[in-house]
Amino acid sequence: MNKILLIIQREYLSRVKKKSFLIMTFLGPLLFAGLMFGAIAVTMNDKSVYQVLVVDPYAVITRVDSANQTLYPRFVDQFKDDERIIYSFTRKEVTPEEFKEGQYQVMLQVDDVTINDGKCNFYYKKFPGESVQRKVGDDLEISLERFRVVDSLQLDYEKYKRAKMNVSFADINVANLGEEDKTQEKAVIGFVFAIMIYMFIFMYGVQVMRGVIEEKTNRIVEVIVSSVKPFQLMMGKVIGIGLVGLTQFLMWVILSSIVATVGISFFSSQIAGGAAVVENAQMIQTGGGQAAMMAELMNNQAINWFFQINWTLMISLFIFYFIGGYFLYASLFAAIGAAVDSETDTQQFMLPVSLPLVFGYIVSAMLIDNPESGAGNFFALFPLTSPVVMMVKATMSTTSVTMILLSMAILVITFIAFIALAGRIYRVGILMYGKKASYRELWKWIRYNP
């Protein structure tokens, strides 16, 4: 058998047979899905009933029933009790201490600041969750609006309502006419991809480095390079470990789709029954928290964009950029491993190598708010950051096929150059012991005759 294949085989098998690999492969997606669904489940399954006290000393949103002298909401349709919220009202001042001692779980204090600026203190003993807070907030907002329209402006609320308009954008990229673009939402998915690329490159790149250090400190490298060329050994290791990464990724895709299918069907049946989790889509878009975002994701209408993403393309791109980025960084990690005598000596080389990767990660995070930035375009082409950044841009469809192909070409050319360079450091480094490798030393190694 070809020797490089033998090395790939050993590197691959010795790793996938490890317990830690199996645990990561099976537990990874479960853990990930568990965290996300867990967060939603907590908010959805929280069926506890909250007693909400609305304090209205200025009498703007409450009215007194003359018959029984009891306070009621002033505006019909607002502050109605439902299965999770029971409202009570008072016009007396209630101090936080009194609230703390009292029976209510939540207290809303409508003071002059609230009336003028809409800022309201929301006291709670235990945070009731997004949906309760949103319902209370909506009730207060509309009540205050009606108060201002009717009392201050002396207008008819029904007329006002007819005049009032909410503007909402349908994002349409002219390149994809006919379909509404959900760039923001896609960005989140793109970012998840970027995190995964970042994580995978780092995880497996470091494994390459560890493997090289192990062989070097073990001195087995001397035996092996008397049978194969150092370059073959390096490439065998890089490819073998890369395949481990791909295997793990594919297993995650398969397992995640299973978990997601089961999870989504379970939760959508829950949502269909409850119906009211997502009431105000705009509010969610402007930052309703992760759980709400996921809830929206599962909402039938909102889920459309989820299928707008070309998953086959994204997974193919992921595989390409993982391979490209991995080769690029793994070759550098292999060179670092060869240059040092122990893992503790890697620090000085690790920083400059990991910095661009971390930078790519930060740029990706910024792209979510600023998808078309020029810097984003640059880093999507720059080979040390493109694997991470381009994943976000591609998911958001804020780049063109030409750009993707160009970034791929640059990435391939660079990784070939890096592998060649790393190979030169590697073949000298693995046989060099006890010599503190400086950058100058490495440069010397690169120019040595083999």
Partner 1 sequence: MSTLLSIQEVSKRYGSHVALQNINLEIQTGHVFGLLGPNGAGKTSLIRIINQITAPDEGRVIFKGETLRPEHIAHIGYLPEERGLYKKMKVGEQCVYLAQLKGLSKQEAVKRLTYWFERFDIMAWWNKTIEDLSKGMAQKVQFITTILHEPELLILDEPFSGFDPINAALIREEMLRLKGLGATIILSTHDMGSVEELCDEIGLIHQSNLILSGPVKQVKNQFKQHLYEIEYIGTAMELGIALGHQFELMDHQVLDGFNKAKIKIHGELKLNDLLRSVMQNSEILSARELVPDMHEIFIQAVTQKQQEL
Q: How far is CA 114 from each of CA 53, 107, 141, rounded to the nearest angstrom?
A: 16, 14, 10
Structure tokens at 449: 């005759």
Q: Beta 106-109 vs 70-73: how paired, if at all?
A: unpaired
With contacts defined by CB under 8 A, name the span among 67-75, 109-117, 144-152, 216-224 that binds partner 1.
216-224
CB 220 to partner 1: min, Å: 4
Q: Binding residue for partner 1 (CB under 8 A) from 227, 261, 316, 438?
A: 227
HEC string of 258-292?
Answer: HHHHHHHHHHHHHHHHHCCCCCCHHHHHCCCCHHH
Residue written as tokens 């073998």?
240
CB 429 to partner 1: min, Å: 13
Interface positions, 228-267, toward partner 1 (CB under 8 A): 228-230
CB 425 to partner 1: min, Å: 14
Sign of the four-CA dihedral 350, 355, 360, 362: positive
Report the C-alpha gap between 298 and 308 in whole angstroms. 14
With contacts defined by CB under 8 A, name the span among 88-96, 146-154, 218-226, 320-328 that binds partner 1.
218-226
Side chain identity at 9, as an amino acid letter?
A: Q
With contacts defined by CB under 8 A, name the span among 77-85, 199-207, 225-233, 272-280 that binds partner 1.
225-233
Q: Binding residue for partner 1 (CB under 8 A) from 155, 223, 272, 413?
A: 223
With contacts defined by CB under 8 A, name the span among 72-80, 219-227, 328-336, 416-424 that binds partner 1.
219-227
- Per-residue x/- marks for partner 1, 420-449, CB under 8 A? -----------x------------x---xx
Q: Binding residue for partner 1 (CB under 8 A) from 3, 63, 84, 210?
A: 3
Widest distance between CA atoms in the chain: 103
With contacts defined by CB under 8 A, name the span among 31-39, 221-229, 372-380, 416-424 that binds partner 1.
221-229
The stretches of 288-341 forming alpha helices (DSSP H) are 290-298, 304-308, 311-339
CB 243 to partner 1: min, Å: 17
Interface positions, 82-141, toward partner 1 (CB under 8 A): none
Q: How many CB atoms lie within 10 A of CB 53?
A: 20
Q: Binding residue for partner 1 (CB under 8 A) from 1, 165, 170, 275?
A: 1
Interface positions, 8-37, toward partner 1 (CB under 8 A): 10, 14
Q: Binding residue for partner 1 (CB under 8 A) from 48, 176, 218, 300?
A: 218
SS3 of 184, please? helix
Cα angle 392-394-395, degrees, rounded to a multiple of 5? 65
With contacts defined by CB under 8 A, name the span among 1-9, 123-131, 312-320, 399-407 that binds partner 1.
1-9
Structure tokens at 87: 């409202």
> For the chain, first and last CA: distance in Å?
26
Q: Binding residue for partner 1 (CB under 8 A) from 224, 253, 315, 406?
A: 224
Element containing residue 106 per DSSP (H, E):
strand 106-109
With contacts defined by CB under 8 A, name the span among 2-10, 90-98, 357-365, 406-414 that binds partner 1.
2-10
CB 434 to partner 1: min, Å: 11
CB 204 to partner 1: min, Å: 18
* Nearer residue to partner 1 within complex by CB, 314 or 446: 446
Q: How many CB atoms lie within 10 A of CB 73?
A: 18
Cβ atoms of 357 and 336 within 8 Å: the answer is no
Structure tokens at 352: 């400059």
* Nearer residue to partner 1 within complex by CB, 226 or 344: 226
Number of residues that bind partner 1 (CB under 8 A): 26
Report the C-alpha gap between 86 and 255 in whole angstroms. 43
Burial class for 69, CB neighbours closer than 10 Å (0-12, 13-18, 19+) = exposed
Residue numbers at the binding site for partner 1 (CB under 8 A): 1, 3, 6-7, 10, 14, 214-215, 218-230, 431, 444, 448-450
